[in-house]
């Protein structure tokens, strides 16, 4: 009787261990490469605007609908933030941003797969209505909205590349 209980416990532990795969370096590398690719594209995109270096567009304290300096707290928070950026990119005119949209989508795909393999609960995007209203209000200012959003996305990507250990947690 006791031995059966012990075996059962061992099997339970083994099954638990098998169901939580350890994030591999492959994922880290893929995320890092994709994030750096996104950053490079953003750099190229924003440089084409040839804005005066004296200009500061989009104070981080303003426009909270687009994440700025949002802390990275596990996979769910990363996916949540990427979802918001995806919506912003989707609202912008097609062009080079389309490629960025694809890149962010790819990155998001990696992380969502990882979340499902780790059985992490998906988080519902907060302030969705505010974001939609913001995008609607500023639909005619897509150049500056795009510039600001990509600038914030770039910072987020930089933060992500140095926080790859967060891929281990939900």
Residue numbers at the binding site for another protein (CB under 8 A):
45, 48-52, 54-59, 61-65, 93-98, 129-130, 133-134, 137-138, 140-146, 148
Answer whether 138's CB lies under 8 Å from 149's CB. Answer: no
Minimum gap (Å) between residue 86 Cβ and another protein: 17
Minimum gap (Å) between residue 71 Cβ and another protein: 20
Q: Which is nearer to another protein, 2 or 124 (CB)?
A: 124
Q: Which is nearer to another protein, 58 or 161 (CB)?
A: 58
Rounded CA-CA distance 58/76 in Å is 26
Minimum gap (Å) between residue 137 Cβ and another protein: 6
Minimum gap (Å) between residue 48 Cβ and another protein: 5
Q: Which is nearer to another protein, 26 or 140 (CB)?
A: 140
Answer whether 75's CB lies under 8 Å from 118's CB. Answer: yes
Q: Which is nearer to another protein, 5 or 55 (CB)?
A: 55
Answer whether 120's CB lies under 8 Å from 170's CB. Answer: yes
CA gyration radius for the chain?
Answer: 20
Answer whether 153's CB lies under 8 Å from 42's CB. Answer: yes
Q: CA-CA distances (angstroms) from residue 65 to 60, 76, 125?
A: 11, 18, 11
């Amino acid at each position: 009787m006791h031995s059966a209980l012990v075996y059962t416990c061992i099997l339970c532990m083994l099954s638990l261990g098998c169901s939580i795969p350890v994030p591999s370096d492959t994922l880290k590398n893929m995320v890092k490469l994709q994030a750096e690719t996104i950053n490079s594209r953003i750099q190229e995109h924003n440089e084409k605007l040839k804005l005066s270096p004296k200009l500061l567009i989009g104070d981080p304290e303003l426009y909270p609908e687009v994440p700025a300096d949002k802390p990275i707290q596990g996979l769910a928070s990363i996916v949540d933030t990427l979802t918001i950026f995806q919506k912003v990119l989707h609202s912008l005119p097609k062009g080079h941003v389309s490629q960025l949209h694809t890149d962010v989508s790819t990155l998001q795909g990696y992380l969502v797969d990882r979340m499902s393999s780790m059985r992490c609960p998906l988080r519902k995007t907060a302030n969705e209505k505010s974001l939609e209203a913001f995008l609607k209000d500023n639909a005619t200012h897509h150049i500056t909205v795009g510039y600001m959003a990509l600038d914030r996305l770039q910072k987020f990507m930089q933060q992500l590349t140095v926080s790859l250990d967060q891929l281990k947690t939900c």
